Amino acid sequence: MKGRENKMSKQIIKALVEGGKASPKPPLGPQLSQLKLDIGKVVQKINEKTKDFSGMQVPVEIIVNEDKSFEIKVGTPPVSSLIKKELGIQKLSKEPGKEFVGDLKMEQIIKIARMKLDSLGTKDLKMGVKQIIGSCISMGVKIEGKNPKDILKEINEGRWDKSF
C-alpha cells in the first residue's frame, strides 16, 4: 500500500494487489472504510479488472470522489512478467538469440499486446504485437517455433494480418 493523496477533493488510494485476489483485509480494507466506501463493491471491481493478471502483483489506483463514487485504474505488470507467466518460467535467456527459454503462440503474443496496449503508446494492435515480439527477441523466446526476428519479417510482409 503506497498511501493516499488529496487531489481537488478526490482521494486516491494506491495499492499493489495480486491479480484477481484483492481482499478487504489490511491495508486496503481499513483505508476504504475510512472513506466510508462499500468495501465489498470496491474489492469486487478490483478483482474483476485484475483477473487476467492472476499470480502477479498489479498496481491499482482507487480514485474516490466527494460523492463516494469511485473509479479503479489498473496498471499492468511489465511485458517481461507477462511473457514469463505465459511460458510458465521464472528465468530468461542469458544469451538471447543463441539460447531460447520458451516458445509462444501468436495468440499469446496478441493477448499480451492487448493487455499492454494502453501503456505501449499505440492504439494499433499490430504495432503493439511488434513491440511484444521485440521483447521476445531480447528475452530469448521463440514464437511459433521460430526466431522472433523471422516472425517480425512475416508480419511486415503481411502474412499475419488476419490475426489482428
Mean pLDDT per 10-residue segment, the chain (164 residues):
56 92 90 91 95 86 93 90 91 90 97 90 94 96 97 97 90
Domains and CATH numbers, the chain: 3-74 (3.30.1550.10), 79-163 (1.10.10.250)
pLDDT of residue 6: 46
- Rounded (10°) CA dihedral 30, 35, 36, 42: -70
pLDDT of residue 7: 46
Read off the pLDDT of residues 90-130 as tens digits, 9 standing for 90 and up: 888 999 989 999 999 999 999 999 989 888 888 999 999 99
Nearest by Cα to 33 from 22, 47, 43, 48: 43
Which grid cell is 146?
521460430
Instruction: For 8-157, list the strands marked E by DSSP.
Output: 10-18, 57-64, 70-74, 102-104, 141-143
- Amino acid letter for position 25: K
The pTM assigned to this predicted structure is: 0.69
Strand 102-104 with 141-143, pairing: parallel
